[in-house]
Structures are given as C-alpha cells and as structure tokens.
A and B are shown apart, each in its own frame.
Chain A
Amino acid sequence: MSEPAKAPEPTKPAEEAKISPAELKKRAKAEKQARRAAQKGDQGDAEAPPAPFTNGVPEEQQAQKQSGPQDSKPKGGQTKSQQQQKQGKPGAQEGKHERRGSQAQPLAMRPKVVQTAPPKEEARKNSKQVELFSHLYTQPRRHDISGATKDVHPAIVALGFQMSSYEICGSSARCVALLVAFKEVIQAYTTPSATSLARNLTSHYLSPQIDFLKSCRPISESMGNAIRWLKKLIAEIDPSTPEQEAKDYLCDEIDRFIRERITVTDQAIASLASGLIKNGSVILTYAKSSIVEKTILQAYANGTRFRVIVVDSRPLFEGKSLATSLMRSGLEVEYLPFSGITHAVKSATLVLLGAHSMLSNGRLQSRVGTAALAMQAHKADIPVIVCCESVKFSGKVALDSIVLNEVAPPEELLPPRVAPSQPPTTDRKDEGDDEESKVKTLHDWQDIAGLQILNLMYDVTPAEYIRMVICEYGNVPPSSVPVVHRLANESM
C-alpha cells in the first residue's frame, strides 16, 4: 500500500462531497486540453504530454487517468497518453526513467496548495488497481474506435470489438477468427513501390492490426502462435513472386493452417477423447470449451449413454451456454454454480477440461476456477483429462496464477443494476460521511476508498492434478508439453 495514497484517503470522504462540483469542472477542462494535446501529438509523438510540467499538465494526466479506464468511455482519452500514464504509475513494470520521473513530479507538487483534487484522483485511481497484479494493468481495454490508427482494417476493428465484448470467446475461436480476418486484410494489401511484400507486410501492415487487437483484449496463446507462424511464412516468401500470387499463397496457407491445426485436430481429439467416455460415466466439465463440447457430442453420437455435470462461474457464465447446447442435443445435464463443486465431484467419474494454453512446465492455464475444480477432483481420485490442440502449447512457464494472467475490467463483476429507489449521487452531496443514511451499492465502489474489485480471467493448474493431455499427437502426460511444443510450434 503506497503511503502517499493512504494519507489522503481518510479525509477524502468528507471533502469529496464538497469538491465534486468543482472537480467536475476541472475534469472537463482537463479533458478538453488533453484532447487537443493528443490530437497534435497523434501518432507516435508520445513524449508530448509528460515533458512539459506545468500545473495544467499533471492535472490533465491525472484527470484522464481517472476518467479513462474506469468509465468505459474514454472521454477524449487517447490510447497513447493513457498508456504512458499507466506506465507512469508506481507499480509499473517498464522501468523507463522518464516515466518514473514524470511520476515523481506530481508527488513533489502535492505539498503545493494549488490542487488537492488531482493528487487525490490519482491516488484514488492508483488504489483501484490490485497491487498484486499491477504488472497486468498495462492497458485499459478500448471500447470504441477513437485513437486507432488509420491503418486498421475494418475487419480487424470488428474483430477487436467482438473479442472485447466476449462475442468471440475461447482460445480456438479467437485464433480462427483472427486468421480469417487476416486473410481479408492480406487481400486488401498493396505493396508500396520501394519494398517487397516479404519485408513490408509484417512490420508496417500487420503490426498495427495486431496492436489494435491487443488494445481490445490481450491476445491468447493460440493467437500468438498463429501470428508467429504467419510472420515466419511471410518472411520466407520469395521476393520475386508477383504480389497477387503471394497473397493467394498466404491465404491458402492460412486456410490450411486452420484446417490442419484446428478443425481436423479437433475432430481427432474428439474421437480420441470420446473413447474415454463409457456407458454410465458422469462427465464433469467447467465453463465452456469448444473441444470438450465436441468430444461430448461425439460420444453421444456414438451411442454412449452418460450424464454431464457442468460447473459455471461468474461473470461470464460460459457454462450456461454449454449446458444449453448439450441439453438441446438430448443429453442429461446437471448445472451447478461454482459453490457446488463439492457436490459435483461426489458423483463424477471423469473430468474433461479445455485449455487456454498448456505451459512448458506441464501446467494448465485455463479459465479461472479450473484449478480449484481440478484440485477437488484430484482429491476425490477422479481422473482429470485436458483436451488441447498443439496450437495452444506454449514455451512459457509459470509457477502460479499471478505471473501470466489477464485482468478484465472490474465492472464486469458488478451485479446487474437494480433500479435504485433513491439515486445514490444526490445522497452523496447531501450528507457528510454519515454512512447509514446513504444506501450505497457495489456500483459505488469507485468512490469507496480501499475497495477494489479483481476480475481475473485465467488460473494455472498444477501438473500433478492433470492425468493426461490429449492433443493431435496422441495422449501425452503433462510433462511432455515442451516436447510437443517444440515439434509443433517451433519447427514448422
């Protein structure tokens, strides 16, 4: 807990009510300034905002910080400036010295009486990020197109928003969608006169698209592997090939990749894994994995009679859509919230899990909550099987769930807003800090000092809980993951 952040906190509730109208005005002014400044230094002139340190600028920075990521509509928030401010915070992982210097300045300015509002806002802003995961808060998710460079292809824009709103969710789905969108992008590309496709396509054309996607939602491991494969492919194109031919070749290769490494692989894994499901089995699964769904439907189509238990969790409720699709196929499904895990493992005979990625130390990175389920199943001596295509295998290692993860916007965890009987904002202005008269809900969490909400997307399951991994190379133990990764992803 940062000391300066704590000091203004206790007094804040009292003063907050009084300064909020003035604060609002200041904020609006600051945003206008920021918009103007960012329009000037649009594309890479990132140094503009932090360099001149006058009174106005830290205020605008901090006001932006406050308004930008937390309200999911950046009012004039520009990605670049937001990025710097994020990195300028105390917990930043990039040790760029000018950024740290930029952070030091507001601290030194705090003793000046001039503004009490911005340091408080910044402190408040800081305190809304869980310090444990400060390395994962690099970029707020973008929710509209402002600030995107003009090079971003409309297909990529659409894809980005589909991913950030969880329309397209799930590692395989995102990978396929990415590649399909890239096909369109590649077809729309024309080589500039001075250079060749092989040299220009990746760095000048595809990179902005990828950056845009990253700003919508951090890319998954499968997407990363696919992009690496594609870049390698592009680099190997003979410069003398005519452009259209090269583009067609790339698109065909992308089709082949999707077919070989995802579609056919899924079928192979499904038929392998469905052999593990016997009559009378009780299959336990968590959230929604497309490959597990295919396996179950395949087994059902083969005539095996069994039952499925689906465990689900907040906030995405992916398990519900899995349960619905299985129910429509005629299977017997039991559906439990996460708190019902102990009940679920009582009757289960087999656990099938999907993966976001398999790490090289044999651990499974999957939807948050998978590790707890695997642990309970392991304690109950139920075999845990992971179905995972080799495109998701990764060279990374992780010892816990903190190192590699994704922090989603905390607003997703808030319960659906019930129509309030009294609007909370008016209450705040009336009273001092008489807590009992205000009925606050969790939707006011921003204003409550010290309250944070953490919305993790993934967790890492230890290798000893996993009995077997089924990939297109067959059934392997978790310790063979680095071998498969080398075979499949690094030696193409």
Chain B
Amino acid sequence: MPSSTVGQTPSLSTYLKSLKHNDIETSIELFISLLKRRQIRNSRSCAIATISLLLRVVGEVRTRDAQQLIERIRAVGRRLVAAQPREMAVGNIVRRVLENIREVAERDQDPAESDGSITTPSTPPVPGETKQRPALRTKFSEFSPLHGAATLPQDMNARAPLSASSGDSSPAIAGMAETALQRPPLMSSNTSFAPQGPAGSSLFSILQHPQGRSPFATPPAGAQSPALRALPAKGDEGPTSEKLDIKAEVITAIQDLQRELEEVDDEISEFAQDHIHNNEIILTHTSSQTVQSFLMKAASKKRKFTVFHTEAYPNNHLETHDTIVNGSGGGSAEDADERWKPLTSMGITVILIPDSAVFALMSRINKVILAPHTVLANGSLIAAAGSSTIAQAAKTHRVPVVVLSGVFKLSPVYPFDTDELIEYGDPGKVVPFQEGEFMDKVDVVNPVYDFVDAELIDLYITNLGGHAPSYLYRIVADHYRVEDIDLSGGKGEAGGAVKAG
C-alpha cells in the first residue's frame, strides 16, 4: 500500500490517486472497503470511482476475447455491488460498461455474423458452479429489487436455471434468442426503438414449459433488437488484429463514459433556460451540485427568481449551508470555475428554511426542483430524506416537480419492495450519543433516503433532455442490456439449459 494514502481520511480523491499505483486486486479491495464503510457516499462519487476502477480493470485484462472481458467485468461488478447494494450508481456504471463492451463486440462481429453461437452470456447459472460461490447471505427477499444485485444465496440457484432477479427477462431472452434465430430478424438495426424480438417470439416461451418465475412480471421488458443479434460470445474466429481493437475500443468507450460523467451537470444546465423564468419561486432540497449549476445557468441568463432552500437536517444540512453560503463547496475540486460561486452572488435571493416549513410555503412555490440519489426503472426515485414530503406537498398544491438527474443514476431495477431501498444512517446525528439515557431507551431512527413515487414527478431532465417519468423505461432499455441487469451467475450454457427444461 502506498504510504501517501495512509495519513488521510480515505475518500474519493485519495482513492483516485491510489488507483495509479496500486495493483488491481488491491484497488478493488480498497474500493469495496470504502463502500462498506460509507467513506464514499453519493451517486456521483461512486460512479466516478467505479468507472476509474473499471478503466484500469479493462486495461489490465490480457484476453482478447470479448466474452472473457465481459465475464471479468461482471465478476468485479458483482463484488462491488455486493459491497453496497444501495449505492446503485456502482451497478449502473458496471452495466453501462458491459453494454459498451457488448456493443463494441457486436460491431466487430457484424461482418462475420448473424448466426454464430447463440448462447447469450446470460445469467442462469449452471448448478455446479454455485458451490464455489461465497456464502454471502443476503437478507433481501426474493422480490427485492436489490436481490439480483447482490450475490445470490445458494438455494436459489439450485432451482431452475432462472435467476431470481427483478426486472430481467434473461431466461426468456435465452429461449428467445434460440428461437429467434430461426426467424429472420424483423427489426432494422435501429437499437433504440420498440423491440420486436421479445414481443414477437414470446409466444414460443409461453408454449415452452415455464420455469420458475414469469419473466414478464416487470414492465420494462426492454430487450432490444440486439437480442436478435446473437452475441458474439466465444468468437475465437477472426484475425487477432480485430480482437486487439476490442480492448482499445472498449477503453475509448469507457473514457467517453467518464467524460459524460464529468459533463453531466453542464448538459443538464443547458435546459435551465426553458424551465426557469423571471419572478419564479423555486423550492429545492439538499446541496446537490446538479441543481446548483442548473440554477446558476438560469441566473446567468439574467433571470431573476427566488429560491427557497430546505436544509435537509440532519444528514445534509451542513453541506447545504455551505453550498448556500460558499457555492459548491466541498473539498474535491480545486478549479475555480463558474459553479463555485454561490447563487446569491448572481443576484438571486436565496431563503433558507427548515424542512418543516415546506407545506406552509408550498402555496407560494411555483416549481420544485429535486435531485435524486437513484432513479428507478418505473420513474420513481430514491432521493434524500424529506423529498417525499416535498413531492407530496407539491402534488397537493399542484406545483410541478422537476427532477434533475444524469443518466448514470438511472437504474434498471424495479422497486417491488421500496423499504429495502432506503438506507438508514447514523442516529448520532439526530441525538448525540452523549445523551446516554435517551439513546438507551428511545429508538432513534435516521432514514437517509426517501422513496418518491413516479406519480408525484412531473418531469425528468437528464443529460439527454426532458422526459416524462413514463418514458424512462425506454432510456433504461437504451443504455443497459437485459442480460446485465442481474450481475450474478456464471457463464451460461443458458440456452441449452432452458431448452432442456
């Protein structure tokens, strides 16, 4: 371990520095411990750390084979996600990287393609493999959205090749990929739009003997037409020069993703002018950088508005105060660009209010702007505690709620059990532990997040533009592959297993 990180509190910046000189396993372990100890906290930091780590992982992978690369990333991703399942940004980034790899691999395979081996690298694990799985007991129920994200208990895998993750239709895909090959691809190669594949071939899976849970339990059965294009998987064919490109192209794609992460605030702010006008009164919550830069952009276009800022006690109030007074404070960045100035310096009136005053003031608010921790596949949010009250109050008063989030926060997980997704934080922040008698006899609870239902949200603004909550499943489909939604499981002889069943 390099000595430079020893003296400092571990955090995102120390981790990124240490990535340069640690070997891969150490880096992974370091990241896992940061996640477990909650020394690396919000979505953006976790996303940045994950992507830097994965960049190194890809850089070090020796194989030329896309399938093995995918397996490697999946293995790493599995460990990271199991370390802190509620930090869904980690899983999101892993899945994005996997999607990039698959896309690159397909692009390479395109000329030599369309039949190839069907086997989707999809998830249903071979029973024999499960015995080597670490005995990580998750407490997540079968219906938990986090269930598939963590390591599966062994008994689950002893059942049919179906994995118990929410929101995946991978076994069906496996079956469909089989059957789909017998049919000419109906769709054009346009990946973003209505998938014909699963819809068209679903009848076959109905006729097949259903195994385990129905794969269509969830709305976003957003398999794309790439399901029709079988994955190149074990392509050992092809000249080695093409394989060399895969790794380089994957690295380029990952760097694009990194750049997207850095620019997400700027891209979202581009839409500020359309949504914020003069003499509006806006309510916002917590110290989100995205919201601050959004409002700064509007202010820089000479819009004069008022901002009521709730302080998000007890988990975020100090950062909120800091953001209001000093601009995007915090420690990490050293560059002094626009967004460091506080909103008040642009002539905007900012009024700090305690969280309890939201209902009282909501009748005068024109718009509510929230930033989430995670966005779920059906358009609902996990956001900082207090957001649910704000959104409900806004709904009561018919005030539009706008949510700003980068696509990296969008998770393909469907919230079956919303309680599982809420993290509980340090009760010492509510009542200091010095008050021994109180802490002893009274149950102090400090939820860090709130679940906000999709019905309460009017608009999402992502770096791709503005969308209604009902459209988000589409974006999920564009950015993630169905087979990656569940990161567990080994290599699939999936197609064969399903067919045999």
Contact = CB atoms under 8 A, between A and B. Distances in A.
Given A336-B445, A435-B342, A368 B356 contact: yes
Contacts of B360: 368, 371, 400-402, 405, 456, 458-460
A314 B341 CA distance: 28
Contacts of B444: 334-336
Interface string A455-488: 1101110000000000000000000000000000
A306 B324 CA distance: 43
Interface in A296-342: 313-315, 320, 323-324, 327, 332-342
B325 A324 contact: no
Interface stretch (B103-111, B159-167, B244-252, B344-352): B344-352
Given A339-B385, A435-B345, A452-B349, A372 B358 contact: yes
A415 B445 contact: no
Q: Which size class do B's interface residues fall under?
A: 35 or more
Contacts of B392: 372, 375-376, 379
B438 interface: yes
B357 A343 contact: no
Nearest to A286: B356
A334 B327 contact: no
Nearest to B443: A334
Contact of A338 (B313, B322, B342, B437): B313
A100 interface: no
Contacts of B31: none
Contact of B443 (A130, A333, A402, A453): A333
A375 B391 CA distance: 11
A448 B359 contact: no
A427 B135 CA distance: 57
A367 B308 CA distance: 20
A449 B342 CA distance: 11
Given A435-B345, A440-B325, A339 B361 contact: no
Contacts of A342: 385, 388-389, 447, 450-451
Give the interface centre of B326, B349, B352, B359 by most chain A CB atoms within 10 Å: B359
Given A415-B321, A448-B342, A338 B386 contact: yes
A441 interface: yes
A449 B344 contact: yes
B1 interface: no
A315 B356 CA distance: 10
A197 B438 CA distance: 52
A127 B344 CA distance: 12
Nearest to B444: A335
Which secondary structure dominates where chain A touches chain B? mixed
A34 to B, nearest CB: 29
B430 interface: yes
Contacts of A339: 312-315, 355, 384-386, 389, 447, 450
A175 B479 CA distance: 63
B366 to A, nearest CB: 13
Interface residues of A, number: 62
A452 B451 CA distance: 30
A189 interface: no
A424 to B, nearest CB: 11
B325 A369 contact: no
B330 to A, nearest CB: 12
A327 B318 contact: no
B430 A336 contact: yes
Nearest to A346: B419
B446 interface: yes
Given A333-B443, A435-B340, A455 B354 contact: yes
Contacts of B389: 338-339, 341-342, 372, 375-376
A451 B357 contact: no
B341 A435 contact: yes
A333 B325 contact: no
B321 A334 contact: no
A255 interface: no
A376 B431 CA distance: 24
Contacts of A375: 359, 389, 392-393, 396
Interface string A1-41: 10000100110010000000000000000000000000000
B325 A335 contact: no
A60 to B, nearest CB: 28
Given A334-B443, A375-B392, A452 B354 contact: no
A130 B438 CA distance: 37
Interface in A335-360: 335-343, 346
Give the interface centre of B343, B385, B422 by most chain A CB atoms within 10 Å: B385
B317 interface: yes
Interface of A: 1, 6, 9-10, 13, 127, 130, 132, 313-315, 320, 323-324, 327, 332-343, 346, 367-369, 371-372, 375-376, 379, 400-402, 405, 413, 415, 435-436, 439-442, 444-445, 448-456, 458-460
Interface of B: 304, 306, 308, 311-315, 317-318, 321-322, 324-327, 336, 340-345, 347-361, 363-364, 384-386, 388-389, 392-393, 396, 419, 422, 430-431, 437-438, 441-447, 450-451
Given A334-B445, A368-B354, 16 more contacts: A1-B306, A327-B437, A335-B430, A338-B313, A338-B386, A339-B385, A339-B450, A341-B388, A375-B396, A376-B392, A441-B325, A449-B344, A450-B345, A452-B352, A454-B308, A459-B356
